[in-house]
Amino acid sequence: MSPAEQINLILQTAHPAAYRALSSFGRQIYLPKGVPLQAAQAANARWNATIGQCTDDQGEAMPLAMMAERISDVDPKEAFLYTPQGGRKDLRAAWREHILSEADSKEEAQETLLSLPVTCAGLTHGLSVAAELFIDKDTEVFLPTPRWGNYDLIFGIRAQGKIHSYNFMLPSSQGMQLNIVDLIAQIKGAIAEGAKKIFLVLNFPNNPTGYNPTLKEADELVAALSGLFEGPEEPTEKPMITILLDEAYHGMEWEDDCCRQSLFFRLSKLDREHFLICKVDGATKEMFFFGGRIGFLSFATSSAASEVLEEKAIACIRSSISALSSIGQALLYEALCAEDLLEQQEKNRTVVRERYQVLKRELSQTKLSYWPFNSAFFAVVNVAGDPEEVRHRLLERGVGVVSIPSAGALRISYSTVPADMLPEMVQILEDTIINGS
C-alpha cells in the first residue's frame, strides 16, 4: 500500500465523508518521510547533519549581522532559522486555544471537534490549500456574489471547480437581506441534478459588503444547511458537502446583534455523515498583521481524521512554499501569550469602529443607496451607470474606492480613512453619484 493509500484508509474509517470530499490531488498527496522527519528525529543528536541550514558552533542562527541588528530584540533562531512543516507546534496549539476561547462554555469548548490548525502563509493560502484538497473539475463550487475578486482565481482558474454564484444578499421588503432561502434552493437544485461533491464558501464577515449575519440569521442558516437532506425528495445517493468558512475579518463585528462567535461552532455540529467543515482564519486582519502572512486552516473532525487532513494540508504547503515566515510566527505566538492581547486588539478596533459609526451616520443623511453593513472594513454603495466610470470620476476628486461592476456598486474601505475625513468624503460620494457633479 502506498503512503497516500495508508492515510486515505484511516480517513475512510474515521470520517468517510471527508475522504469522499477529497479531490484527486487531495487523495494523492501525503507527506513523504523525508528530510523534515529525519531532521526531527535527529533534533537532539550530538552531530545533527540532517538539514540544509547554517548554525554556528553553538548551534545558534548565523544571520548576516546587518539583518540581525535590525531585529535585535528577537531571538535570531526565531527569525532566521526554519520552523517545522505546518508551522510552530506551540503557535498552532495557541491558535487552537484562541479559537476555542469563543465557546459559550467550557463544555462547548471541550465538545467542539477542532483539528490542530495548520499554519499557512496568510489566509489566501488557507483558501487555496483547501481548494486544492477538495475541488476537482466536477465539484460544484458555490461562491457568494459580489465577492472578493481573488475567489475567481483561487476556486475557478486555479482549482477549476464548476462555479455557481449565489447572491450574498437579496432585496426584500426590508431592503437587502442575507440570502438563505435562495442559497439553499440552489444547493438543493444541484443535489437534485446529481451533484457528487459540493463545496460551499461562506465568508463572514463578508468582503465586499461588510455584512455579518445576526444571531438569528446564523441560526437560520445552519438550520437550513442541516435540513438540506431532509424532506420527501431525499436523494438516494447523497452528495458530500464541504463548507469552507472564510473568517478573514473575524473579530470586526461592530453591532451588538451580530453573531460574534465564529460560525464554526454552529457548523461543526452538522452531521459528519454529509458535511466536512473547514475554517480559514489568521493574524492578517484579526491581529492587524497584514505583512506577517500567517493564516490557519482547521477542520471540524475527530482527532484520527484530523491527523490525516493535517498531513495532507501540510504536504500541500510543503510542495507549494515549504516553510513559513519564522518571525511572523514568533510575533504572533508572543501576542497570543500576552495577557493584554484583548486590550491591544480592542484599542485598534475602537479606531475602526469609530470610522464605521461615522460613515454609517453620514451615509444615512444622504440620498445614497447602500447595502446594510455592520462589520469588517467595508460598505457598498450603489451607483447608476458604469461603476468604473464613477470610480474614475471619484479619483479625480481625491476619493479612491473599488468598483464592483457585477453589483453596479462601489466598495468603500473605511478602515484606512480617518474618522474626521469621512464626512467630506461622503459629501463627495453623494455629489458625484447622486448629483453627477
* Residues 245-304 close enough to bind a copy of itself by CB under 8 A: 249, 285, 287-293
For Cα atoms 247, 251, 156, give the angle at the middle one, nearest 5 degrees: 15
| CA dihedral of 411, 415, 419, 424, whole degrees rounded to 10 | -30
Q: Which is nearer to a copy of itself, 64 or 367 (CB)?
A: 64
Taking the complex as a whole, the smallest distance from the CB of residue 381 to a copy of itself amounts, in Å, to: 10
Instruction: Say whether residue 82 binds a copy of itself (CB under 8 A).
Output: yes
Interface region with a copy of itself, contact rule CB under 8 A, candidates 60-68, 169-177, 185-193, 234-242:
60-68
Interface region with a copy of itself, contact rule CB under 8 A, candidates 7-15, 164-172, 218-226, 421-429:
421-429
Please report where in the chains the cell 437544485 appears, as a residue.
Answer: 189
Q: State the angle between helix axes of 123-134 and 303-318 in degrees (0 to 180), rounded to the nearest 10.
A: 110
Taking Cα atoms as reference points, which of 164, 213, 373, 418 lies closest to residue 382?
A: 373
Binds a copy of itself by CB under 8 A, chosen from 165, 167, 366, 413: 413
Taking the complex as a whole, the smallest distance from the CB of residue 353 to a copy of itself amounts, in Å, to: 11
250, 244 contact by CB (below 8 A): no
Interface region with a copy of itself, contact rule CB under 8 A, candidates 180-188, 190-198, 271-279, 328-336:
328-336
216 alpha-carbon distance from chain centroid? 22
Distance CA 239, CA 93 (A): 33
Distance CA 186, CA 423 (A): 40
Instruction: Say whether residue 3 binds a copy of itself (CB under 8 A).
Output: no
Binds a copy of itself by CB under 8 A, chosen from 110, 157, 173, 237: 157
Interface region with a copy of itself, contact rule CB under 8 A, candidates 46-54, 92-100, 108-116, 173-181:
46-54
Instruction: Say whether residue 314 binds a copy of itself (CB under 8 A).
Output: no
Taking Cα atoms as reference points, which of 259, 305, 297 lies closest to residue 278?
A: 297
Taking Cα atoms as reference points, which of 82, 97, 38 lies closest to residue 329?
A: 82
Binds a copy of itself by CB under 8 A, chosen from 328, 362, 363, 390: 328
Over the window 364 to 403, marking each residue x when it contacts a copy of itself by CB under 8 A and - when it does not, the resulting string is ------------xxx------------x---x--xxxxxx
Q: Which is nearer to a copy of itself, 42 or 103 (CB)?
A: 42
Q: Which is nearer to a copy of itself, 136 or 221 (CB)?
A: 136
Amino acid at site 178: L
88, 329 contact by CB (below 8 A): yes
Distance CA 67, CA 317 (A): 27
Binds a copy of itself by CB under 8 A, chosen from 1, 2, 72, 101: 72
Distance CA 329, CA 127 (A): 19
Taking Cα atoms as reference points, which of 144, 189, 136 lies closest to residue 25?
A: 136
Segment (H or E) for 353: helix 341-364
Taking the complex as a whole, the smallest distance from the CB of residue 181 to a copy of itself amounts, in Å, to: 29
Q: What is the largest CA-CA distance in the chain?
A: 76
Q: Which is nearer to a copy of itself, 93 or 402 (CB)?
A: 402
**Nearby residues of 257 by Cβ (< 8 Å), 6 or more positions away:** 214, 215, 216, 374
Distances (CA, A) of 39 to 84, 186, 237: 10, 49, 46
* Residues 189-248 close enough to bind a copy of itself by CB under 8 A: 207
Distance CA 217, CA 81 (A): 46
Instruction: Say whether residue 1 binds a copy of itself (CB under 8 A).
Output: no
Q: Which is nearer to a copy of itself, 81 or 305 (CB)?
A: 81
Instruction: Say whether residue 56 binds a copy of itself (CB under 8 A).
Output: yes
Binds a copy of itself by CB under 8 A, chosen from 10, 51, 109, 170: 51
Instruction: Say whether residue 180 binds a copy of itself (CB under 8 A).
Output: no
Q: Which is nearer to a copy of itself, 240 or 316 (CB)?
A: 316
Taking Cα atoms as reference points, which of 18, 106, 90 lies closest to residue 311?
A: 18
Instruction: Say whether residue 80 binds a copy of itself (CB under 8 A).
Output: yes
Binds a copy of itself by CB under 8 A, chosen from 3, 171, 175, 418: 418
Instruction: Say whether residue 149 binds a copy of itself (CB under 8 A).
Output: yes
Taking the complex as a whole, the smallest distance from the CB of residue 321 to a copy of itself amounts, in Å, to: 4
Interface region with a copy of itself, contact rule CB under 8 A, candidates 35-43, 194-202, 239-247, 362-370:
35-43
